[in-house]
Structure formats: structure tokens, C-alpha cells
Amino acid sequence: MAKRPCVYMLASRRNGTLYIGVTSDMSKRVWIHQTGAVDGFTKQHSVRMLVYFECHATMAAAIEREKQLKKWKRRWKVRLIEETNPFWEDLSTQLG
């Protein structure tokens, strides 16, 4: 996947701990989370599965969407994930 502003959600497992982030390089950012290369929330809570992402035209739009999603109730986030990824598969295999 070429560099492009994206919002993403990671999970520790199906219906597990969720993390929402924004990046311009999905492949690199997911690798960082999955390998635990950087200390932080996702490393501490073993949040490594990419379960949802959406790309945007600009970083400003992606950041705005990230802030919106972070304010959502958990059940809304789960519904969003399950609309496109009902089995909570790790989508990182789809990144190029």
C-alpha cells in the first residue's frame, strides 16, 4: 500500500481491546504495532490485529475522522468493524 493518510483500528482479539490511530504509512505503522518495536498502549495490551482501516484524501481529513471515532461508543466501533470485517480477520495481510 502506497503512502496515504489512513485511520485504522487494531484489536487484541475479537471483541478485545481496541486502539484507533492515524498514519500516512499503514504498512510501516502496522509493523511497528505487531512487532512491539515501540513501547506504548498497543505493546502493553498486545493489540496487534488490524481489523479496520479507511483511507482519506488528506491527513487533515484522516485526523478529523480519527478524533470522531475516538469519541464513539464502543458498540458503534464494533458495528463499524463488523460491517466490513465480520470475522475480525487480521487485515494486515492485505497491505502491500
Instruction: Report how far residue 84's alpha carbon sits from residue 64's, in angstroms, rounded to the nearest whole number.
Output: 21
CATH number at residue 15: 3.40.1440.10
pLDDT in tens, 26-51: 999 999 999 989 899 999 999 999 99
Helix (H), strand (E) at residue 34: helix 26-35
pLDDT at 13: 96
Instruction: Specify the pLDDT at position 45.
Output: 94
Specify if 1 maps to a domain.
no
pLDDT in the model for residue 95: 83
Q: Which domain holds residue 57?
A: 6-94
Query: Who's near 46: CB < 8 A, 6+ residues apart?
Result: 12, 17
Contact between residue 14 and residue 88 where contact means Cβ atoms under 8 Å apart? yes
Split into its structural domains, the chain has a count of 1
Q: What is residue 56's predicted lDDT score, i.e. its pLDDT?
A: 97
Distance CA 34, CA 20 (A): 14
Q: Which of 46, 45, 67, 47 is nearest to 56 (CA)?
A: 67
Cβ burial of 24 (10 Å; 0-12, 13-18, 19+) is: middle
Domain presence at residue 76 = yes
| Residue ranges of the chain whose pLDDT lies below 70 | 1-2, 96
